[in-house]
Homo-oligomer: A and B are copies of this chain.
Amino acid sequence: MEMTIEQIDQTVLGWLANARQQILESIKQPLDVDEKSSQRDLVTNVDKEIEQYYVQQIHALMPQARIISEEGYGDDVQTMDGDVWFVDPIDGTLNFVKQHDEFASMLALYRDGQPVLAWIMDVMNDQVVHGGPDYGVYCNQTRLTMGPDYGLTDGLVVLSGVRLLLDQHAFQEIAKSSIGFRIYGSAGIAYMHVLLGKAVAYVSEMKPWDFAAGAALGQGLGLKVSDVDGQPLNMLLSGAVVVSTPRAHADIMGIEKQAKGL
């Protein structure tokens, strides 16, 4: 018997609650921190433990599903056919290690390349934004609706700090064109700002597990989701991803075109 969307949502909310308790316990102990690609790209024992927990739960719930995950406990996924899960156990690991705050835990389920459900948990604030296109988007139990359609001149934009300093994808011009820009160091925390109407856009270059949940929830809320050239996302590749209000999306596309001399 196939599970309903609501049953899947409730099941995963239970996993997140368990993961949250495990993370809060782990924070009391010294973390075991390793560097991945650089000193700024960290992984801890907690990232690994939480990812293993999610992967086990997904396998038990949906044995046929394949998993794209950050820390290597998932599958080698080459197509988006069927059920594909995206898992980012601790998003914003540098914040997790240095701040013990401002990090997220994210999951997303896509079916034949289309978003079904996704979850972003702000662990320390005990908030989960969850839902999908056919289900609606909720913050904990409260149904969310898209806020006012403000453009960049009326809204805050959230950016990736590393890309801003390198001025990739015209990030400095996007920052200057906005009423103000913010840098939080976690895609999940950034997406929550956009989904909750606190910011009009989040733009960053990211891996699929970083943007899968934000893209699904953004689409579910009626926000614009694309790469910086306005094209649909390739869910199997890293990319420069925009989730924004329609007006801010038009503003950002204009800036990107101008930067490319189009």
A40 at the interface (CB under 8 A from B): yes
Given the contacts A39-B179, A182-B183, A185-B156, A198 and B161 also touching, CB distance less than 8 Å: no
A172 to B94, CA, bound (A): 19
Interface centre among A95, A164, A180, A193 (most CB of B within 10 A): A180
For window 221-258 of A, CB contacts with B under 8 Å fall at none
Complex: A99 Cα to B94 Cα, angstroms? 24
Partner of A181, one of B101, B156, B183: B183
Indicate if A44 sits at the interface (CB-CB under 8 A): no
Q: Which A residues, 52 to 108, have Cβ-Cβ distances below 8 Å to chain B?
A: 94-95, 98-101
Judged by a CB distance under 8 angstroms, whether A143 is at the interface is no
A114 on interface, CB distance cutoff 8 Å: no
Q: With an 8 A cutoff between CB atoms, is A3 at the interface?
A: no
- What interface size band does chain A fall in? 20 to 34
Specify how many copies of this chain sit in the oligomer: 2
B180 and A94 contact, CB distance less than 8 A:
yes
Q: Taking the complex as formed, is A1 at the interface, i.e. its CB lies under 8 A from any CB of chain B?
A: no
Measured CB to CB, the closest approach of chain B to A158, in angstroms, equals 9
A165 contacts B by Cβ under 8 Å: yes
B-side contacts of A111, CB under 8 Å: none
Q: Are A98 and B198 in contact (CB under 8 A)?
A: yes
Q: In the complex the two chains form, is A181's CB within 8 Å of B161's CB?
A: yes
Known: A39-B153, A98-B198, A198-B98. Is A185-B180 also a contact (CB below 8 A)? Answer: yes
**Which residue from B40, B161, B176, B198 sits with its C-beta under 8 Å from A182?**
B161
Task: Convert A135-174 into 0s and 1s, putting 1 for each residue whose CB lies closer than 8 angstroms to a CB of B.
Answer: 0000000000000000001011000010011000000100
The answer to whether the Cβ of A206 comes within 8 Å of any Cβ in the partner chain is no
New A-B pairs, 17, CB < 8 Å, besides A161-B180, A161-B181: A39-B179, A94-B156, A94-B179, A94-B180, A98-B180, A98-B198, A98-B199, A99-B156, A99-B193, A99-B198, A156-B185, A161-B182, A161-B183, A164-B164, A165-B176, A182-B185, A183-B183
Can you show 24 pairs from A to B with CB atoms below 8 A apart?
A: A39-B179, A94-B156, A94-B179, A95-B156, A98-B156, A98-B180, A98-B198, A99-B193, A99-B198, A99-B199, A100-B198, A156-B185, A161-B175, A161-B180, A161-B182, A161-B183, A165-B172, A165-B175, A165-B176, A180-B185, A181-B183, A182-B183, A182-B184, A183-B183
